[in-house]
Structure 1
């Protein structure tokens, strides 16, 4: 019995030492990004096997009030929103409300060339339609509250950049159209559909459609840098990023999201697989993008990744399916991108858990 207790004690000490060494390594890496303790910061979570093994916050959630960041803070996600839009489309497909092979003219009859552009093209950024965020005229609408139809009408008559399926080019317009199609087929608003069918089902109680008006508990305020000075983020109407970038969440809720995907809480495995498949162009070349995720590699291991950028916020999430490791980083200043450091953390974890 004494030997058994000593064995357990040794194992406990060994495990605690391992955890401390990993925490120190991650802390040192993140301190190179979030150097200013009195400036904007970020929150990071690492999970292994669906359970958090690291959660930490850096910097300030509100500079003006001197409020420290904490792991419960709510951030704007930017383009990580596209993951939720893509899964919502697959949920509607599973409910036989639509097909990813449907032409968009089936839902928006007056869309130019809509009989050639499919929902699949929108999901994979291969539609060729003009990205409205790159149009000079976007300044005319960025603070206006538009309906989904008005947003789509803003760009739908622009000349196409290429024919559907000919090229991959990251495109926010495609996901705006997807949001509109969700509303048309579900007979519900995008905001309410996501809240009811994804956030509620996944237990994501601190996630929502973005608002600058609503009182949001634990909100992290967004900042930008101008001539080396921090300033409050530029205001936009959240009807503009819409289904391509208008959701908010926490690091804890984002782990619930990843777990819901892994546990098939929202979709059958066969449906989810469509989101995590690297698709091809018309000529057969791979685009390394699924539905709402970049299908990539880190140190030779498969990864599913996506970042986000919206005024005042930058975000990055990485999932390693072989290791069942999830890393999510959320920042409340678009001067602090978590993209590279999140991937660097993933590299450390691959090395750490390779045995």
Structure 2
């Protein structure tokens, strides 16, 4: 994909498939089911995906509920519609909601320094709970560390991660940028345990799953026998293989929950209809993060808030060994779309959800327009800190178009930017905000929803 960082988010048909019947015989629902079949079946038939579960609900009323493929490829076990999946970073909204419940009860404050609750060398920086919730802490992300692969298969005490990460240099000063970071949500889990005196797992079970009626959701446990659990698969050169082992000590509050499509719909209904958070905390939950320079982002607290098909969309995806997930909610329409996949690789649950939205409302109308100014004003190389690495973008012109390329020219294919307004351009869901000083372009702020990168012009 053109210069879109992979969201490793905790850390982003069917001759031989089981299909549950559509919920309604309504013509539009039948069309939706046929369209979904046309997207999903080829992936299952060609064994490029193990299994896919989809739920579309209007409030508590099912519009579409289907499962495709297998929960277990070796035994050809059909994927049941109530199969449980690892949901990866969709976990983050549960962690965020738990923190806001504790704020509401007066046990913590969003502006509290994290060192009030857990020992951590902040290297002279002030890092607040708010920073942890919004990926703006600047703390090194542990899933981006070079040795994470070897560590992830071993079980360690949870504070081991803190001792490893605190030795690493901060990526940026807290509040200056937004770089997706699993370390922050790991810390939030420890804070929940510190102030409540119970385990993160127990808190989530009693105060979130219980309130939402999510009877098929749980903290993932690779040793426990779980009825209707889907097994995860990764894509390698030879095809699908069993997912690489991951000890769930590591994803923890950043990505260790398991759930079903219907349970996530129940969560959406409970969360967005006042059964989980007070009105004040719900508003806080959805407030977009504002950076220290005043820039507004699309990331709130464990959730993103964007516009899709001219409608407000509250969304988060997830990816973990063997599993991909997408959970979105359209508040005005009271519509949930949940897509869970028990394999990584070419099948994108986000793309499937996008297609469902297109089928419901038509293709989204572009918000870009023609540009009549001087394209050369934007050209040059822009560099800064990305997720786990330094990044660079080179802006060039081609005919009457503004082009961008990640890395050094010649390494990757350039792609065209579309003009939106003033000094803002777009490519897909990413926005490129060029910054001026005294009329001259001096920097680029790249908003990719899950990250807001501040780059300087060389």
Asked if TM exceeds 0.5, the reply is yes
String of CA shifts for 1:225-259, please: whole Å, max 9, x gaps: 22132211100100101111100000011011001
In 2, Cα distance between equivalents of 1:310 and 1:225: 13
What is the Cα deviation at residue 32 of structure 1? 5.0
Structure 2, unpaired ranges of 5+: 1-23, 364-458
Which residue matches 2:126?
116
Instruction: Assess, with a 3 A threshold, how the Cα gap between structure 1 residues 346 and 169 changes in structure 2: closer, same or farther.
Output: same
Matches of 1:272 and 1:34, distance apart in 2: 39
Where in structure 2 are the equivalents of 1:44-63 lying within 5 Å? 44-63=54-73
**Pairwise mapping of residues 229-308 of structure 1 onto structure 2 (< 5 A)?**
229-308=239-318
| Distance in 2 (alpha carbons) for counterparts of 1:232 and 1:173 | 26
Determine the structure 1 residue equivalent to 2:148.
Answer: 138
CA contact (8 A) 1:43 1:251 kept: yes
Which residue matches 2:423? none
From 346, 349, 352, the counterpart of 2:360: 349
* Cross-structure match for 2:335: 325
In the alignment, what sits opposite 1:128?
138
C-alpha distance in structure 2 between counterparts of 1:252 and 1:60, whole Å? 18
Distance, in Å, in 2 between the alignment partners of 1:29 and 1:322 is: 27
Cα offset, 1:320, TM superposition? 1.1
Query: Secondary structure of 1:59's partner?
Result: strand
Answer yes or no: is the 8 Å Cα contact 1:210–1:247 preserved in 2.
yes
Matches of 1:297 and 1:33, distance apart in 2: 29
Q: Given that residues 50 and 324 in structure 1 are in contact (C-alpha distance below 8 angstroms), is that contact kept between their aligned partners in structure 2?
A: no
Aligned equivalent of 2:381? none
For 1:286 and 1:213, the matched residues in 2 are separated by 43
Segment of structure 1 superposing worse, 240-249 or 260-269: 260-269
Equivalent in the alignment of 1:311: 321
Displacement of 1:15: 7.0
Q: Which structure: greater strand fraction?
A: 2
Q: Could you tell me how far apart the structure 2 residues matched to 1:38 and 1:267 are?
A: 40
In structure 1, how many angstroms separate the alpha carbons of the residues matched to 2:133 and 2:267? 19
- Match of 1:340, SS state, is helix
Q: 1:143 to 1:114 in 2, by over 3 A?
A: farther
Cα distance in 1 between the residues matched to 2:249 and 2:181: 17
More helix by share: 1
Moved more, 175-184 or 36-45: 36-45
Does 1:211 find its partner at 2:221? yes
Q: Does 1:99 align with 2:109?
A: yes
Aligned counterpart, 2:232: 222
Q: Give aligned pairs, total.
A: 339
Deviates most, 87-96 or 16-25? 16-25
Quick one: structure 1 residues 279 and 39, their matched pair in 2 at CA, closer, same or farther if it must change by over 3 Å?
Answer: closer
Matched, 1:201 2:201: no
Which residue of structure 2 aligns with residue 22 of structure 1? Answer: 32
> What are the within-5 Å matches in structure 2 for residues 146-185 of structure 1?
146-185=156-195
Q: Relative to 1, partners in 2 of residues 1:301 and 1:39: Cα closer, same or farther, differing over 3 Å?
A: closer
Could you say if the C-alpha distance between residues 15 and 59 of structure 1 is closer, same or farther in structure 2, counting changes exceeding 3 Å? closer
Q: Which moved more, 1:314-323 or 1:244-253?
A: 314-323
Decide which moves more: 22-31 or 130-139: 22-31
What is the CA distance between 1:275 and its match in structure 2? 1.5
Q: Classify the secondary structure of the residue corresponding to 1:46.
A: strand
- Aligned partners of 2:29 and 2:64 also within 8 Å: no
317-326 or 164-173: which moved more? 317-326
Q: Give the RMSD, CA atoms, in angstroms.
A: 1.9
2 CA distance for matches of 1:238 and 1:230?
Answer: 22
Conserved in 2, the CA contact under 8 Å of 1:104 and 1:111? no
Gap change, CA 1:15 and 1:144, over 3 Å in 2: closer
Partners of 2:351 and 2:245 in 1: how far apart?
Answer: 27
Aligned-residue offset at 1:171 = 0.5
Q: What 5-or-longer segments of structure 1 have no aligned partner?
A: 1-13
8 Å Cα contact 1:82/1:244 also seen in 2: yes
Kept after mapping to 2: 8 A contact 1:318/1:346: no
- Taking the aligned partners of 1:113 and 1:73, their CA distance within structure 2 comes to 45
Relative distance call for 1:147 and 1:304 in structure 2 (3 A) is same
Which structure exhibits the higher relative contact order, with contacts defined as CA atoms closer than 8 Å and separated by 6 or more residues? 1
Would you say the 8 A contact 1:313–1:331 is kept in 2? yes
